[in-house]
Structures are given as structure tokens and as C-alpha cells.
Structure 1
Amino acid sequence: MTLVIIGPVTQDIIRIGGDESYKVGGATYYQSFVFEEFYGDYLAIVNCGDESLLNDFPDLSKVRPILKDNTHFFINSYPYPDNLNIRHQSSNFADIPVLKSDLEEILPDEIDGFVLNPLNRHDFPPETVEYLKSFNVPVFMSLQGFLRTEGNQVNDNYEIELCKFDELSTILNGVDVIFLDEAEKNFIGSNVDVDEMVITDGSNGSRIVGDGEIKVDAVKCENVVDTTGCGDTYMAAYISQKLLMKSSRTAGNFASRIASEKINNYGPYNFNK
């Protein structure tokens, strides 16, 4: 059986202090490196307009593109090089939805679960989410994309702001686990009807809210190199252990360690180091 991870690949611009670099990004991209190591039977389905971005994935045989007329662009600015927990983002807010018709011919016959990684609310229309729920397998979802809306325009991009989404409760109904950070949790409040919430808070650790609450300490990292994609790495590591029937506490501790290992190196999680 196969774990299906779905979401856009991005072209990212990283600005740290006065330095600027370019790289491939997106939650599905970062997660694929973790699943490659810890849950090998996966399929990454990515929506984008630039197929060359797929070349950076760890195993192209496990990638299926949904080609659109645009690609997500993100500018990640870290104004304080000595504190990479502070990040300002802007995006072009590409409108390139994953449609039911896009998925019908490329989904595998047997599926372990779905991981949904929207980067803005265009990526997964409600009807697409309902279609994926109909498979009656675990659904794991990153919440952040559904809360993002266009803020002030900066050249060709827009600052990212959080905004209430009228259809959010319908989308979340039937989702097994959602992933979000503390700012997003404070924004949506406590009226969330899911089995489990995994809430991350950078170097302050994370907490897992289900029947009760589990606090997970961050694994200390002596050499912070690159925090971009850290939350996505945590999410994939957590899911890999939950699908192997590990407890939430065990999965959280494992995810914290893998996220710490990731930020020791530039780029996605490197299982060869």
C-alpha cells in the first residue's frame, strides 16, 4: 500500500540578512526526503507549472506532476541571521488547484493514507478534499495554506496574512490529524473538530492535543543552518511513525529529533549524513 502526499512544489527565494539564494521548496518536497528514508512506499503528487522543479526530488519514480499554468513562488526573509525563528514571507498566491479530475487517473489502487499540503486556499477545493475523504483512509493535513490570504502587495508578490476561511470547518470534518503552529492555533481558537492537532513552536518544542495534551521538547541544535522546511520535516516524521502504529508521544519525540537533524544542514532532510 502507498502513502500519497499531495501539494505544490515551489520556487523559493531565501534572504538571510543581506544574502539571497534560490531553491526548490514546498511541504511535499521537504516531506518526500523524510518518507524516502522512513516510509519508502509513498507517491508525491505535485501541482506546478515548471516540471524542471521535480528534478530535485529524491526519487523521480515516486513523483507524479499535475501540470498547471503557474507555479507557487515564495520569498522567505530572515531579517536577523542570529535568530532564524523570525521569518517574513510573501508569495504570488498562484491559483493552481488540485482537482478531482486531476487525481482520478494517477492515484494508486491501494492507499495507506493521504497527506494534504496546501500552500494557499486555492490548492485544495472543498470538493477535492471530500473526494479524498471518501477513500476512508487516514487523512493528515497541514492547516496553514487554508488560513493564508493576500496582504499588502510587494512588487509582484503579496505579503502573507491569516484570514478566517468560511468553509474550514467543512474541510476539517473527517480529517484525522492537522498540523499547525502556535500562531495559527491562536488564530483559529479551540473550536476545531479533529481527532488530533499537532502544534509546533520552533525551538520551544511542540504539543499534541487529542484526548489529552502531550508536550514534546525540542531537541537542542548546536548549529542552526537552515530552518526552512523544518515544520514540514517534523510533520512527515510524525506521520511515518503514526502509520507504523507508534504512540503520539513516540511519534512526537521522533519527529522532534528528525527536525533537529534537518536544521543542521542546508536544504531538505539528508538521510545520508
Structure 2
Amino acid sequence: MDGVLHDDLLHPELFRGAGTRGADRAFQRADQQLTEAPHHRVAGSARILLIGHVTRDIIRVPGRRDREQPGGSVYYAGMALCGLGHQVTILTRIASRDEALLLADLRRAGARVENLPSARTACFVNAQGPGGIDDRVQEMRAEADPFGAALLQAVQGLSCDAVYFGSLLAGDLDAALILRIAECFPRAIKLFDAQGPLRVRHDTHVMPCVWPDAGQVLSVCDIVKADQEESLRLTGARTAAAAAARLADLGVAQVLITRGGQGALLRSGGRSRRLAAWRPRSGVCAIVDTTGCGDTFLAAYLHAVLNGRPPQAAAQFAAIAATMKLTRFGPLCCGENDIVAFAAQP
């Protein structure tokens, strides 16, 4: 045995006719063992600061025309959090000429977006392969300028309940800058997506790399997300469960390791749980666009935590939101009731 608890995600029948309150009760019943609550509950709308590059993305899906749209971790997470009713502030770097095109969605959704202008806008091509959710090839056509001292000036005077670090490449946000930002918000939940510091651009290719400052940075974070491959490279572990335990040993309260179509692994309160990928009752889910699913997952997880759900229930809600994102192009920007209704569909 691997010492990991195994759980299926909540069956949609639990949501049928329940409404948001009924879904909340179902989520609470789902996990009686994980009672950790490292941060205060924020009822309703929370103030959330997201830091990272908005990108120009080209989405390539077999049998369809290429589609160009905004992208980047903070774009997908920011849109999801706006839809869920939070007060979102985004600090990003794109070329000034691209502001009207790439930041309009976020601003229409209600986000306050401040651009610290870059000479270039980061541009990715995300090509979906025939193998479905776990088959994707990515290339990078342009790289934006990294964040610097101007970021520290931009956060002055801000207050927030959570800070979401969504870098895309190593060097986007150096360790010293992240630590300074964390010090500015001592009471806020700090979330970190480990994807960015573990990869570099070489020509048009996105290549894996070593992250020497991982321990220093992650030790000040409360919630960390990585996919399975990233978690193994990050920790040197042989299994996702061992990787999650090593990250928790750094002081991370809640570790999320996403595994694509295989679901996710949650480490919290000294225990690990494997969670199956959520699927509708029919078992059939039309995959339209996988880009941004991990960002949507982390945003929905944060929303659930801020509203008082325990970690496993938060992960279950996040998995449903990520599956809903799979079924459409672009970001998921909808309310909690819409996600509950999606879960209740036959």
C-alpha cells in the first residue's frame, strides 16, 4: 500500500436540486477527516491579487481553425475568480499596444488590471494532440520582460486576502522579489503555481529546468500546485505522493498535484488523498480546449477555501470547475451556482 487514501469525486446526484446551500452541505460531508483551517474564512467576495504575465495564445485543435485569444495563468485564474464574485487585482507585463486586445476581457469581468509595460508580449502556441486531455504540445514565439522593482511600487497601498503567483517561465519573478511581495501581505494566503520556475524558453521550445530557489520560495507559500511531472522534478521524488509529502515538509499547508485525466492528489494535514477526475453522470465529457484548466482548478480551489470548505471538498469543487472549463474555448467565468448546475447535469 502507498499510504494514500483514495476517493472518487462527489457524484453529481449530490447536487441535484440542492442549490448552493445543498452543495455546500454535500461538500462538508465529503470530508470529516481534514479539518485544517490555517486561515480565516472570508465570506462572500475576497480581495485577491494575481501577479504574472497575460499572454497572446494561439490554440490549435485538430479539425479546427487556429484560434487566437488572451492566455496566461493570471488570465484564466483571474477570469474564474471574477466570475465567482471576488475583487480581483492583476499586475502584469505586456506590450502597451496589446492592452486593448488582451486585457479587455479581464476588465469587462470586473478585474482591476495594471500593466507594467513590456517591450514584448509573451506568445504561446498550444497544440492539442489526438490523445485528448493529456496530449498537448507547446511552443513559445515571444517572451515578455520579467518583473522588477516596479512591481514592489505597484503593490504599495494594496490590501488583499490572497496573493496568487502565476509566473510562466524561470526568471519571470525572481526569489527575492517573491519574498518581498510575501512580506508585504503577511496575513494573506499565498498561492504558487510551480509550473513557471521549472521551465525556460530555448528558441521556440519550452524546456524543463532546475529551480534552485524552490525551497526558499515555497516555504512562504500556503497552497502550491504542480502537475505530476513538475512535482517529481521539483522534489526528486519517484511518486506524486512522495513529492507532495516533501513539499509539505517545506511548510506548505496544502499541496495540489494535478494528474490530467487521472485526477489529482491532495496533501493536507499530514495526509494524502488521490482524487479521481470528475466526470458527468453520463461518463462523457466533450473536450474542447485544455488550455487554462490547471489555472481554473487552482482558482476554484482558492474560492472554496476562502469560503470555508475543507481541503478535500475544495479540491472536489475545483475538479468540477476544471472539467467545466474543458468543455469550452477560453476562460471559465461563471458563478458558483453555474458550476453546481453543471455538476447536476445528467
TM-score by length of 2: 0.72
Query: Given the alignment of the two structures, is residue 222 of structure 1 paired with residue 281 of structure 2, yes or no?
Result: no
The equivalent of 1:233 in structure 2 is 296
Residue 246 and residue 16 in structure 1: after superposition, are their counterparts in 2 closer, same or farther (change >3 A)? Answer: same
Query: Given the alignment of the two structures, is residue 59 of structure 1 paired with residue 109 of structure 2, yes or no?
Result: yes
List aligned pairs for 1:129-148, cutoff 5 A: 129-134=178-183, 135-136=185-186, 137-148=188-199
Partner SS, residue 207 of structure 1:
strand
List aligned pairs for 1:142-221, cutoff 5 A: 142-151=193-202, 153=203, 157=204, 159-189=205-235, 190=243, 191-192=246-247, 193=250, 194-210=252-268, 211-220=270-279
Q: Which ranges of structure 2 fall in alignment gaps of 5 or more residues?
A: 1-45, 236-242, 339-346
2:121 to 47, 59, 71: 71
The equivalent of 2:69 in structure 1 is 23
CA-to-partner distance for each residue in 1:157-186, whole Å, 9 max, x for gaps? 2x1121112222222221111111011112
Do the aligned residues in 1 keep the contact of 2:147 with 2:172 (CA within 8 Å)? yes
1:40 to 60, 72, 86: 86
Query: For residue 221 of structure 2, what is the amino acid of its counterpart?
Result: V
Deviation at 1:196, TM superposition (A): 2.2
CA-to-partner distance for each residue in 1:34-56, whole Å, 9 max, x for gaps? 11122422212222113121112
Query: For residue 150 of structure 2, what is the amino acid of its counterpart?
Result: S
The equivalent of 1:10 in structure 2 is 55
- CA–CA separation in structure 2 for the residues paired with 1:146 and 1:231: 16
Query: For residue 216 of structure 1, what is the amino acid of its counterpart?
Result: L
The equivalent of 1:261 in structure 2 is 324
Do the aligned residues in 2 keep the contact of 1:2 with 1:112 (CA within 8 Å)? yes
- CA–CA separation in structure 2 for the residues paired with 1:174 and 1:27: 20
**Further displaced range: 113-122 or 97-106:** 97-106
Do the aligned residues in 1 keep the contact of 2:198 with 2:210 (CA within 8 Å)? yes
Deviation at 1:100, TM superposition (A): 3.8
Partner SS, residue 162 of structure 2:
strand
CA-to-partner distance for each residue in 1:78-116, whole Å, 9 max, x for gaps? 231x52420111114625222243242455532112000
Query: For residue 253 of structure 2, what is the amino acid of its counterpart?
Result: D
The equivalent of 2:5 in structure 1 is none
Greater Cα radius of gyration, structure 1 or 2: 2
Root-mean-square deviation over aligned CA pairs: 2.0
CA-to-partner distance for each residue in 1:187-210, whole Å, 9 max, x for gaps? 123343122210111121111113
- CA–CA separation in structure 2 for the residues paired with 1:149 and 1:29: 20
Query: For residue 168 of structure 1, what is the amino acid of its counterpart?
Result: A
Q: With CA pairs under 8 Å and 6+ residues apart, which has the higher RCO, 1 or 2?
A: 2
Same amino acid, percent of matched pairs = 24
Deviation at 1:61, TM superposition (A): 5.0
- CA–CA separation in structure 1 for the residues paired with 2:220 and 2:325: 31
- CA–CA separation in structure 1 for the residues paired with 2:111 and 2:293: 25
Do the aligned residues in 2 keep the contact of 1:100 with 1:131 (CA within 8 Å)? no
- CA–CA separation in structure 2 for the residues paired with 1:110 and 1:206: 32
Residue 43 and residue 228 in structure 1: after superposition, are their counterparts in 2 closer, same or farther (change >3 A)? Answer: same
- CA–CA separation in structure 2 for the residues paired with 1:262 and 1:225: 9
Do the aligned residues in 1 keep the contact of 2:78 with 2:111 (CA within 8 Å)? no
The equivalent of 2:11 in structure 1 is none
Residue 100 and residue 175 in structure 1: after superposition, are their counterparts in 2 closer, same or farther (change >3 A)? Answer: farther
Do the aligned residues in 2 keep the contact of 1:93 with 1:150 (CA within 8 Å)? no
Which stretches of structure 1, 4 residues or longer, exceed 4 Å deviation after superposition? Answer: none
- CA–CA separation in structure 2 for the residues paired with 1:181 and 1:84: 13
- CA–CA separation in structure 1 for the residues paired with 2:218 and 2:261: 27
- CA–CA separation in structure 2 for the residues paired with 1:105 and 1:250: 35
Query: For residue 215 of structure 2, what is the amino acid of its counterpart?
Result: S
Deviation at 1:71, TM superposition (A): 1.1
Residue 127 and residue 258 in structure 1: after superposition, are their counterparts in 2 closer, same or farther (change >3 A)? Answer: same
- CA–CA separation in structure 2 for the residues paired with 1:164 and 1:141: 17
Deviation at 1:240, TM superposition (A): 0.9
